[in-house]
Amino acid sequence: MSYPFSSALITGASSGIGEAMVHELGDRGVDMVLVARRRDVLEALAERYPNCEVLVADLTTEQGLAAVAERIGDVDRPVDLVVNNAGFGSAGAFVGIDADRLDDEIALNIAALTRLSHAALTVMMQRRRGWVLNVSSIAGFQASPGLAVYAATKAYVTSLSESLHAEAASAGVVVTALCPGLTRTGFQEVSGTEHFVDRFPDFVWTSAHQVARDGLAAVAKGKTVAVPGAVYKGIVAATGVTPRPLVRWLSGRLGR
């Protein structure tokens, strides 16, 4: 697939879905700005592709966010595509999770994504050219006891992206929500969901590469919401017609 964008900034580029996007875009000659906290990993990735910048930033800090927003807004070095991919979850009972960790989760999954979407749309809508891909999750389509804050942050990401898709369309700019299901990445270790790897059969796992390709293809085609994989397309369709109490119960059983 060839893409309409010639430059991209990817947050969470050092691992998992973000790293898979780096390979997908880098192999097609797209110039890139790679954002994450781990400099050594980003530098090793950047060496593999020409015109690849490293921007080390912790997106839960004002300084990190400001640096990335400034780079997106740099009119002399325009970025065609912004991928808001950095994010993490916290498994367990709501009251059992450290409150500061939940603050960081909301800061990264919601506040940083909002700020960087704002920075991107401000320049892109003036330029009348641009694409924003916000990485959400199928967890955002229903309540998820045991991953309560994570699911709530992703419901926000999908809702915000759908609204922004409608607002930006008249300026020729695309905003897409990418909603993957289970994908083997660093996410399981960080979120405390390693037990999902043994619990769920292989066919429900999507590869990071497939998620990356489906998401990039969707934003390139101007889609509003993308759900990679037939299994998850079916689950999302079923969720929409299943009574909410049953969806909550099922989702709580699966998340244990």
Torsion of CA 67, 191, 161, 100, to 10 degrees: -60
Nearer to ligand NAP, 37 or 213 (CB): 37
Residue pair 191/105 in contact by the 8 Å Cβ criterion: no
Q: How far apart are CA 26 and CA 20, in angstroms?
A: 10
Least separation, in Å, of the C-beta of 171 and ligand NAP?
A: 26
Least separation, in Å, of the C-beta of 15 and ligand NAP?
A: 3
Helix (H, G, I), strand (E, B) or coil at 147: coil
Least separation, in Å, of the C-beta of 45 and ligand NAP?
A: 10
Nearer to ligand NAP, 153 or 247 (CB): 153
Angle, helices 113-127/148-169, rounded to nearest 10 degrees? 10
Residue pair 50/74 in contact by the 8 Å Cβ criterion: no
Least separation, in Å, of the C-beta of 59 and ligand NAP?
A: 4
Nearer to ligand NAP, 192 or 222 (CB): 192
Binding site for ligand NAP (CB under 6 A): 11-18, 36-38, 57-60, 85-88, 108, 135, 137, 180, 182-183, 185-187, 190
Say how many C-beta atoms besides its own lie within 10 A of residue 6's C-beta.
15
DSSP secondary structure letter of residue 194: T
Nearer to ligand NAP, 41 or 125 (CB): 41
Nearer to ligand NAP, 121 or 185 (CB): 185
Nearer to ligand NAP, 11 or 144 (CB): 11
150 flagged as catalytic: yes
Distances in Å between the Cα of 154 and the Cα atoms of 115, 124, 158, 160 are: 16, 24, 6, 10
Q: What is the CA radius of gyration of the chain?
A: 17
Least separation, in Å, of the C-beta of 132 and ligand NAP?
A: 14
Least separation, in Å, of the C-beta of 170 and ligand NAP?
A: 28
Interacting residues of 150 by C-beta distance below 8 A, sequence separation 6+: 88, 89, 90, 91, 105, 109, 137, 139, 144, 191
Choosing from 3, 150, 156, 232, which is the catalytic residue?
150
Angle at 68 between CA 106 and CA 52, to 5 degrees: 125
Q: Which residues are catalytic?
A: 150
